[in-house]
């Protein structure tokens, strides 16, 4: 690891805007530090991280120092999954993570030459989750306990949204904290991915690889399964037949558990506050935030969310 410099003490210093140019500047400095040639990097995604394609690498630039511990964990998780022969993303052979300007954690990954998962891969997602959830605790590092709402309040505090929306979202977050504490789970605890959707699968031919380990933790599988269920029930991204494929492949339907409404509401909040971070970057994202906040406030637009 390189350059921690008390990053967690700066976790609340998130007021600067994180956009494509900011991320590109951090990427260039990270490449210089790692002795990697930085020629024509292509932005693949801008969300919690800026993700760039660079020659035979994928580079993740996180949006602030609060993400340092997650970057360290991602590196540890990738090494652990490789040792367990689990089909996960592999690290580039470089010293990492890096901390750029005491602010931006950066990690380097081997490029996977293939597409992301799509609608036909929902059963594959379920099968890999089933396998992940059954792995024993890693012995070479401490896998943190699941923290379901830890990023919500910082997102709300720094988001360019109306004060009334901020108050509403914070109140919803507080309510859900109490409801989560009362849940009685049905499945045994294990490693969980934390952002388990088909876009976090990639394929080389027919061979799947799971990517994005930022939210991996030790926790309850119901939360991984509940994301796909929320994409089905709230967002409308899956048909009934596709969701049935998912539950058949995993062997459990989280929507039949009496704690699912709390899981669903929590995922709705997380999905809304994730997209809210970028409302100033495009009219499409601003409109999608408006769609989602209306669902949280008044249960409008059920089944009509757009994916980003």
- Give residue-wise pLDDT tens across range 57-102: 999 999 999 899 999 999 999 999 999 999 999 999 999 999 999 9
Is 7 in contact with 68 (CB distance < 8 Å)?
yes
The whole-number average pLDDT for the span 42-50 is 91
What integer pLDDT is reported at residue 14 of this predicted model? 39
Spacing of C-alpha 36 from chain mean position: 26
Q: Where are the CATH 3.30.200.20 domain residues in the chain?
A: 7-110
Q: What is the pTM of this model?
A: 0.87
pLDDT at 33 over 70: yes
pLDDT confidence tier of residue 7, bands split at 50, 70 and 90: very low
- Give residue-wise pLDDT tens across range 96-123: 999 999 999 999 999 999 999 999 999 9
What integer pLDDT is reported at residue 308 of this predicted model? 86
pLDDT at 5 over 80: no
- Give residue-wise pLDDT tens across range 13-28: 433 578 999 999 999 9
Cα 157–Cα 161–Cα 165 angle in degrees, nearest 5: 85
Name the residue with tokens 């954690």.
105
What integer pLDDT is reported at residue 16 of this predicted model? 56
Q: Where are the CATH 3.90.1200.10 domain residues in the chain?
A: 120-298
Cα 133–Cα 48–Cα 181 angle in degrees, nearest 5: 50
Q: Give the span between the Cα atoms of 18 and 5, in whole angstroms.
A: 20
- Give residue-wise pLDDT tens across range 171-184: 999 999 999 999 99
Domain 120-298 fold is: Aminoglycoside 3'-phosphotransferase; Chain: A, domain 2 (3.90.1200)
Domain 7-110 fold is: Phosphorylase Kinase; domain 1 (3.30.200)
Measured between its terminal Cα atoms, the distance across the chain in Å is 32
**Closest alpha carbon to 191 in 131, 128, 124, 132:** 132
């Amino acid at each position: 690891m390189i350059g921690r410099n008390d990053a967690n003490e700066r976790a609340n210093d998130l007021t600067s805007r994180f956009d494509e140019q900011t991320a590109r500047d951090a990427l260039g400095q990270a490449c210089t530090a790692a002795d990697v040639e930085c020629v024509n990097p292509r932005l693949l995604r801008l969300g919690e991280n800026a993700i760039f394609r660079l020659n035979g690498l994928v580079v993740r630039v996180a949006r602030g120092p609060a993400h340092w511990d997650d970057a360290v964990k991602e590196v540890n998780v990738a090494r652990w999954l490789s040792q367990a022969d689990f089909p996960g993303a592999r690290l580039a052979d470089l010293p990492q993570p890096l901390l750029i300007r005491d602010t931006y954690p950066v990690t380097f990954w081997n490029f996977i030459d293939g597409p992301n998962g799509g609608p036909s891969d929902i059963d594959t997602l379920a099968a890999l989750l089933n396998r992940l959830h059954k792995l024993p605790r890693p012995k070479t590092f401490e896998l943190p306990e699941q923290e379901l709402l830890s990023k919500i309040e910082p997102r709300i505090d720094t988001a360019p949204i109306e004060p009334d929306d901020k108050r509403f979202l914070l109140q919803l977050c507080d309510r859900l904290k109490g409801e989560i504490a009362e849940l009685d789970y049905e499945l045994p605890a294990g490693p969980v991915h934390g952002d388990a959707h088909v876009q976090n699968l990639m394929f080389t031919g027919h061979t799947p690889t799971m990517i994005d380990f930022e939210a991996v933790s030790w926790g309850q599988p119901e939360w991984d399964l509940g994301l796909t269920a929320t994409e089905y029930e709230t967002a409308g991204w899956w048909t009934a037949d596709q969701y049935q494929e998912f539950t058949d492949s995993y062997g459990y339907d989280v929507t039949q558990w009496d704690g699912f409404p709390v899981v669903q509401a929590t995922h709705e909040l997380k999905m809304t506050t994730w997209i809210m971070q970028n409302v100033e970057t495009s009219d499409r994202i601003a409109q999608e935030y408006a769609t989602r906040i209306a669902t949280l406030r008044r249960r409008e637009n059920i089944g009509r969310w757009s994916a980003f």
